[in-house]
Structure 1
Amino acid sequence: MELAGELRRPRTVEDAVAEQQRLRGLVRAESVGDAARWRTAAGVDVAYDDEAGVCAAAVAVLDVASLDVVDAVTAVSRIEFPYVPGLLAFREIPAVAAALSALAGAPDVFVCDGYGVAHPRRVGLASHLGVLTGIPAFGVAKNPLYFRCDEPGAERGSSTPLLDGAEAVGRALRTQPGVKPVYVSAGHLVGVDEACAVTLGLARRYRLPETTRAADQLCRGALAEAGPAGLAPSGGAPSSA
């Protein structure tokens, strides 16, 4: 699939912050369609070998009804940006974009292992990816990062606001009874209500949605298989998985 927006690659922290401010003005963290009609959901995850200076991105497309994987691609790339909290998307987006170039078709929604507007500048990976592709995207994270929340009820589907001061930036969502919640935030072209509903539909047996589980397995496998010697001269090698 082709990107809808320009992939910019800032080299300094100052340029990256400026790019996030630009993207923030383009983010629409609200529903623009009927999420109940979505048929495919794509998990997005990235694994790192910081010692070798490489990362592997995976996009796993699942049928929402059956949870079967219907398409899967990976790409291994050199890490182009240093580790800076709040700017992690700039380490991940180049590899994710390379993987997307090998995807047969566009999914209905992206489910990122990370954050959307639950971010200091409201532009986490899910928001960044949503603007770049023009496709609805949201984040499902494993911890609340910078923000606070009350513990949701123990039953599946219970949630509480994820707060930055008095502002709600997402929700802590219980996907399985008595299991630690996940932290859901809208990214782009989808609201938090729809994001939580889709997350529950994708997390029928485990804490994490099946999209995340599939993408995590793929990117770890791609990183282990390729290694630094398996990189293309251009810095990325997309492939079907």
Structure 2
Amino acid sequence: MSLSFEIPSAPVAASSDGTGFPVRRVFCVGRNYAAHAREMGRDPDREPPFFFTKWAETVVPTGSTIAYPQETQDFQYEAELVVAIGKGGRNIAVEHALEHVYGYATGLDMTRRDLQLAARGQGRPWDTGKNVEQSSPLGLIHSVAEVGHPATGAITLTVNGQTKQEADLADLIWPVSDVISFLSGLYRIEPGDLIYTGTPAGVGPVVTGDVIVVEIAGLEPTTITIGGPPQD
């Protein structure tokens, strides 16, 4: 059967072993650091983390200049540890969850915060705030064979060299194994899925020309420049 038009291919992320990692889906964990939950006006003891999704096409590589999106006056950064899934499964036990990980990377969940908060206040989905073109920058994916399973270590974000976010992976409310286990009870996870595991406190706005750098101990950093509005 011929197609009415060509469909863009799925993004392929770079891995440290020189191979490409085809991105299938993007899952994000909300409020997975207690201090960030509090800065967003929530109580992490009463409201555990949850998931939202983003299109695979929102993933862009480190070194990119991303457009400042339309319809927002408050475009914000969120530094994240990203888990790359290499083995599918459903209803995965916590003790076997890490067997499904291909590797880890630094990343960003860029957010139209004003649209997100407006939707939250009206009890509506977050899609217009979160699922935004170029909003999931991703660093080099390091395989488990290279870096193991990082459970501790500094995670930091700077804007123009000034530290804005600083925490430790040990501060995650739900560690990676719990995240994978819980997510696999909601969906069958598949190779190519990415899980953005949540952001520390200190989120804030950026403007055109800002340079954002996310660093996590043992992983290559993600560096992104904020450009002007989208150009079609």
Q: Give the TM bin, normalised by the shorter chain.
A: under 0.3
Point out which structure has higher relative CO (alpha carbons under 8 A, 6+ apart): 2
Answer 1 or 2: which has greater helix percent.
1
User: Scaled by the length of structure 1, what TM-score is found?
Assistant: 0.26
Task: Give me the TM-score of the superposition, normalised by structure 2.
Answer: 0.27
User: Which structure shows the higher strand fraction?
Assistant: 2
